[in-house]
Amino acid sequence: MKTRGRKIYIYIVLVTVFFSLFTESVKASPSVSAQRAILMDGDTGRVLYEKDAHTKSRIASITKIMTAVLAVESGKLNEMVKISDLASGTEGSSLYLKPGEKVKLEDLVYGLMLRSGNDSAVAIAEHVGGSLDGFVYLMNKKAEEIGMVNSHFENPHGLDDHENHYSSAYDMALLTKYAMELDKYREIAGTKVHTAPDPESEWDRKWKNKNRLLTELYKYSTGGKTGYTKRAKRTLVSTASKGGDDLISVTLNGPDDWNDHIQMFEYGFKHFDSTIVLPKGKLDSIENEVYKGRLTVKRDVLLSLKDDEEKDVRIEYKLMKPKKEWLEENNAPNIVGNAIIYLEEREVDRVPLYFMKNQERKERSWWTSWKRLFASTLGVKDHG
């Protein structure tokens, strides 16, 4: 009986431990109300959490992120836009633009992003694309360039007036990652209140951002775009930054989207850290007599990693067959190969490897020597 009792006790302990570990695992992942969702690292593009993220879906006004990107990249932000009858008469959320009035394109983009003005979206499209059809062509061309394979645009605002207008949570995260690399877009998306002149009134227009994460709910929020139509339901794209880590969240058909995004951000900030797995600068790990001391990487390679994932990172170097005359004749190609970064044997990034020619190597050697002399003079070398 003692042996049987001991076995039962061990069994209970094992079951308790198992369920404890299972519960902790479940708690670790965010629980979201949205039908489709994704959390992406804004620097590396690594997906940190996803829920049916690649399914084509209606996206409502988060469409306007693409409209804003094209406006920012047009180089026309300082131009005045004459508001057409078509733009002024657009249904849904509005800036109440009047036919014939002239508004600076930059102000229209602020109104687009902060107040989700559909009239603003049409005015932007007509000015930047020449026509709605011309602008839609630019939207789909840009989507293809970014790699949005499950997306197709038919209008600049996201209204349910076309059946063939859709994207996915993953594609919208990709678009936002691209957009956040544009300084002006990042500034506009992160603005809480914008004031624009109204020549026909004694009062300026004043627009408060509809993104409550940015204005009141989440202190790490850096921007985003809200959306809603009867068919798409609530859609939301948002960005957040904490301790140097930049994250992107997207939810489609999310009845509790504010909390969904906060949960995903908190999960990402708690469980992942941006880690430099290959620093920019001279590469010292290649021993070949031609390449040794001459290869450089021009940017840090960052990965979002959990604490126990660094061991799963592997770097592979693919290089051209070196020629000794490169050293004597100084005629080596600028780029001689790539460093390919793998996480759990899946390629997650790659960077070109540059060959330092003789003059550049001398300049770097002089700069290094000068820095050492300067540090020695200050006592840094001896005393840290």
Catalytic residues: 61, 64, 116
Phi, psi of 183 (to 5 degrees): -55, -45
How far, in Å, are 187, 202, 245, 277, 322 from residue 317 at the CA level?
38, 65, 27, 14, 13
SS3 content of the chain, % helix, strand, coil (to 5): 40, 25, 35
* Secondary structure of 106-171 as H, E, C letters: HHHHHHHHHHCCHHHHHHHHHHHHCCHHHHHHHHHHHHHHHCCCCCECCCCCCCCCCCCCEECHHH
Residue 6 vs residues 9, 10, 13: alpha-carbon distances, Å: 5, 6, 11
CB neighbour list of residue 82: distance below 8 Å, 6 or more residues apart: 100, 101, 102
- Cβ-count burial of 270 within 10 angstroms (0-12 exposed, 13-18 middle, 19+ buried)? exposed
Number of neighbouring beta carbons within 10 Å of residue 273: 18
- 221-229, strands of its sheet edge to edge: 47-51, 36-41, 245-252, 233-242, 221-229
Residue linked to tokens 């839609």: 136
Question: Tokens for 255?
Answer: 């009845």
Asked whether 328 and 65 are in contact (CB, 8 A), the reply is no
Give the position of tokens 């140097």. 244
Distance between CA atoms of 186 and 184, rounded to whole angstroms? 5
Query: What six digits make up the tokens of 109?
Result: 């983009």
Comparing CA positions, the residue from 169, 174, 177, 189 lying closest to residue 251 is 169
